[in-house]
Amino acid sequence: MSFKVNSSQQISFNDSVFSLTAREKKALDNSWAKIFADEIFPNIDEERFSVLYSSKASRPNAPVNVIIGALIIKELFDYSDDEIVENLMLDLHLQYALHTTSFEEQPISDKTLSRFRSRCYNYETTHGIDLYHDCVKDLSSKIAKLMNLSGRIKRMDSMMIESNIRFLSRMELIYTCISKLAIYFDKNYPNKIPDDLKHYTDSNDYNRIFYHQLNDNMEQIIQALLSDSDKLLELCGTDYEEVTEYQLFLRCLSDQTVVENGKRRLRTKEDGTMNSTALQNPSDPDATYRNKAGKLHRGYVANLEETVDKNGSVVTDYQYDKNIHTDSQFLQESLSQMDRSEEEIVLITDGGYAGQDNFALAKEKNIKLITTALIGKEAPDALADFTFNDDGTILLRCAAGHEPVRQSYTKTTRQCKVSFNCNHCVGCPYQGQCRPKIDGWNATFITSKNASNRAKSQRYMQSEEFSNYAKLRNGVETVPANIRKNYRLDKLPRGKQRGKFFFGSKIAALNFRKTVIRGSRFIPKPGWKEFPASEQSCMTGRFLSAPLPCRKIAAIFMRLLPDRRGRPCGAWRSAAGRTSP
């Protein structure tokens, strides 16, 4: 399949828009589809995705900008792949938004979206470049310009994302990995699996082992599982190292068991604690374990960067990784990819992003990093007035203005051991904070530039300017809550790569919704469709473009209309904010 740019950007003579009445055309122009068609769709860069297709002459691809636009609208209305394809055929709003009103046949089918995602996954795996992330980031920047955001103030926050997997005990985890490998052999090499292992291929075997046994038999079951694991290891040898089921099986045994005196047993605390990268469920090998704020998480973490000013806010970048990825690591990766800004940018974060290396890296990019909290021990206030050289290896003068008699620098700890004349320290107003050790004529203590910078940060946190920035940062806390509530974040596909792709679509949908709200256009919330999409697409188009009082009156009447099963339409009950009698 070869790449071809979508040239159908202009309205043709047979366009379906020409058949609309003036009233219908006005309603269409006042809907969300107008903003999407004028501001979002033309800014989708198709050329970026040309590398996904063949350079040889062949059947052309489905328009990439239509595919990406459909992926965003899909998240906007919480459609499935089949529903967005069906609604695109029947709903003029979607056709107008995606510039397909002049198409005799809509250009995407039931497999178009999944095949496009697969191409993006394969390209990222091979080349390490996430094309879709770059596309969403570019669109977000253009939306920020559309909303006249200056880009001088940004705020950052992270959010935990639970993987859509079931918690498995150690026994269940070992059993599941054995079962998956046994099923693989039964499907591909049925004559190779021993008879005493074939029970793992039975769908009812799990219930028989875990729910139809007495608790007194648990030790026997564990020993049987470990014995069967050794049999499978001997059976496989080194012939199946490329098989996913075998790789997960080996990973599980490595995490959960040890071999002692030629016999396999479960790992205990004495053998060393299992790290957070241990396999949680073979259904999602990428998911990791983390304990944050006293709550257990299995899955991933996303980092959000939001640009904000008096005109509004837009999520201009996002990152997605395993949940063992720290806030500090996210910040360092984000800063390292930025070019140095000509104007100073203020980046407001919470205490998890603090760190002297992060402050130094931000300064190199002309970014003022403000953290609303600091992690670690509080530094004495007097250290804020200490003066060091640029690299922090030499203390030039203390808070009282005295120079040290001698000093030494320890590279591993980044600390300076300094000695002053005891006459300078005894009776000094800062002696209680510096706490020097008086030995004869010398007063010695250990300090560092990091401690001095921390003291400066603590002093700055008492200022009115910092208080205003801290209040501004609180607004970013609403973004994770918004995504969780309105964009079904708990239903992300399993796997880091797939989850990141769908998360990017949700970010694009969130940003577009902000654009629509800014333009005072009505757009329905996800979750309105409670009856077949074919019925909804025919009925909702003009209803959603009507003024609010008209929608409320219409909703009361629409409640009484039955769906295909003869029941009142639940979607219109939601719209009216009432329930059926």
Q: How far apart are CA 380 and CA 433, in angstroms?
A: 6
C-alpha pair distances (Å), 513 with each of 208, 416, 523: 50, 53, 8
DSSP 383: G
C-alpha pair distances (Å), 339 with each of 4, 68, 362: 32, 27, 11
Range list of H helices, 391-440? 422-425, 431-434
Are the CB atoms for 297 and 323 separated by under 8 Å? yes
Can you say whether the dihedral through the CA atoms of 536, 539, 542, 545 is positive or negative? negative
Beta strand 312-322 with 295-309: parallel, antiparallel or unpaired? antiparallel
Q: How far apart are CA 397 and CA 414, in angstroms?
A: 17
Structure tokens at 516: 């629509």
SS3 555: helix
In sequence order, what are the residues at sequence separation of 6 or more whose Cβ sits closer than 8 angstroms to the Cβ of residue 38? none
Can you say whether the dihedral through the CA atoms of 96, 100, 106, 111 is positive or negative? negative
Q: How far apart are CA 423 and CA 504, in angstroms?
A: 63
pLDDT tens, N- to C-terminus, the chain (581 residues): 778 787 765 556 677 888 888 999 999 999 999 999 999 999 999 999 999 998 887 888 899 999 999 999 999 999 999 999 999 999 999 999 999 998 888 999 989 999 999 999 999 999 999 999 999 999 999 999 988 898 899 999 999 999 999 999 999 999 999 999 999 999 999 888 888 999 999 989 998 888 877 666 788 889 999 999 999 999 998 889 899 999 999 999 999 999 988 899 998 888 876 788 999 999 999 999 998 878 889 999 999 999 998 888 999 999 999 999 999 999 999 999 999 989 999 999 988 898 888 988 999 999 999 988 877 788 899 999 999 998 889 999 999 999 999 999 999 988 999 999 988 998 899 999 999 998 888 899 999 998 998 898 888 888 888 888 888 888 888 899 889 888 888 889 999 999 999 999 999 999 999 888 765 554 555 544 433 434 333 333 433 434 444 444 344 334 434 444 444 444 433 333 433 33
What's the confidence (pLDDT) of residue 568?
45
Q: How far apart are CA 453 and CA 432, in angstroms?
A: 19
Helix, strand, coil percentages, rounded to 5, for the chain:
50, 15, 35
Beta strand 367-371 with 345-349: parallel, antiparallel or unpaired? parallel
First CA to last CA distance, the chain: 55
What's the confidence (pLDDT) of residue 458?
87
In one letter, which amino acid is 351?
G
Q: How far apart are CA 4 and CA 131, in angstroms?
A: 17
Q: How far apart are CA 346 and CA 316, in angstroms?
A: 15
- Whether the model pTM is above 0.75: yes
C-alpha pair distances (Å), 514 with each of 159, 213, 306, 314: 20, 55, 12, 8
